[in-house]
Amino acid sequence: NNNSNSNRDDDINNINDDAPPFFLYFASTTPHSAGLVGDETNYPVPAPYDRAFSGAPTAELNRFAGAVAAQDIYVGRILDVLRRTGLDANTVVFFSGDNGADDHNLTFFRDSGPFRGKKRSLNEGGIRQTVAVQWPGHIAAGQTTDHLFAFYDFLPTALDLAGLPRAEWPPGIDGISAAPALLNGQGQLKVQAKSIDRTSTDHDHHNNIKDGAGKISSGTLVDSPGETAHAYLYWEYCMYGNATDDLPQLYASGWGQAVRLDDTATNAPYLTEWKAIRVNRSKDVLLYNLTADITESADLSALFPDVVAEIVGLMEGAHTESLFWNSVQDASQYCCEECYDPKGCPSPCISR
């Protein structure tokens, strides 16, 4: 907001060529939604950056354009300082959002791109984000990778990039370092990825954290500091209603689960990127081939019952029951959309 603008400027101005090693976490409320109006309410755009736009068809979309422009200014100021001080060659910059778009007309700017869904959706438009990383001289510009990255992967990635030996990492880290994928042979980290062992019923360890898109956990290929890729990613989220954007939501309301399983290793049977969604532990599971169907339009569950069975097993294995984030056994039960009571979910969150 406006009051935090001076603090933000102080943080940026404190970056100089004499600065000791630093970590700067910059979390902006922009662009958030189209309700950003530049005052002290409703997540305002700081006044110095609240530029007027008139090219969009509605005032709401013009305000949203101003919020995006403000975000561009914030990030640009940080990058300018790093270049001016010569620190950019020794500073790794990560940039990403937290979830899909929401709260304004998503058609004009095509906010969700080719994906189905928006914020709070288990479709790709709700949970998929681009992560841009910059480190001149170490990470080649303009490259892309299909490496799966979740936000809890940032800590091990940062530790790797900072050169801390993995034997010295703190215990219990949930994520996997993406440094080998980022450096891509440009640096010293060269770790051989391992393929998924489909003969095992043990899908490794499962770690749960609360994320803006719901509870998320991951399965990993090997339970060791040398693991290099997620075997799958898992989400769960309780929502009554829908998160439809330009494409309608095709799954029901309630306690939803989703799994992304990349079956792309050279010894894998299908060589594709699978995505599955089920609600209220229903036997009706939606299965999509993201490699050929990024809009999640064609349900392939009837054609690949073996994949469905494997993914349902992953869903059950990844879920950890909690008083603060209860599941349901079927549609007759009611999950809790927001439950932060230390004593657990109140009775409306237990049954209808």
Q: Report yes or no: 117 and 245 within 8 Å, Cβ to Cβ.
A: yes
Averaged pLDDT, 114-141: 91
Q: Say how far apart CA 331 and CA 333 lie, in whole Å.
A: 5
203 versus 296: the higher-pLDDT residue is 296
Whether 315 has a pLDDT exceeding 70, the answer reads yes
Close Cβ partners of 268 (under 8 Å, ≥ 6 residues apart):
195, 196, 198
> Of 1-5, 278-282, 336-340, which gets the smallest average pLDDT?
1-5
pLDDT confidence of 16, banded at 50, 70, 90? confident
pLDDT confidence of 269, banded at 50, 70, 90? confident
Q: Say how far apart CA 95 and CA 205 lie, in whole Å.
A: 28
What is residue 339's predicted lDDT score, i.e. its pLDDT?
A: 59
Close Cβ partners of 276 (under 8 Å, ≥ 6 residues apart):
258, 259, 261, 285, 286, 287, 288, 301, 307, 308, 311, 312, 315
> Of 103-117, 198-212, 258-272, which gets the smallest average pLDDT?
198-212
pTM for the structure as a whole: 0.80
> Of 38-42, 114-118, 168-172, which gets the smallest average pLDDT?
38-42
Averaged pLDDT, 79-87: 91
Averaged pLDDT, 96-118: 85
Neighbours of 339 (CB within 10 A): 18
Establish how many alpha carbons lie within 13 A of residue 89's alpha carbon, considering only the half-sphere containing its beta carbon: 5
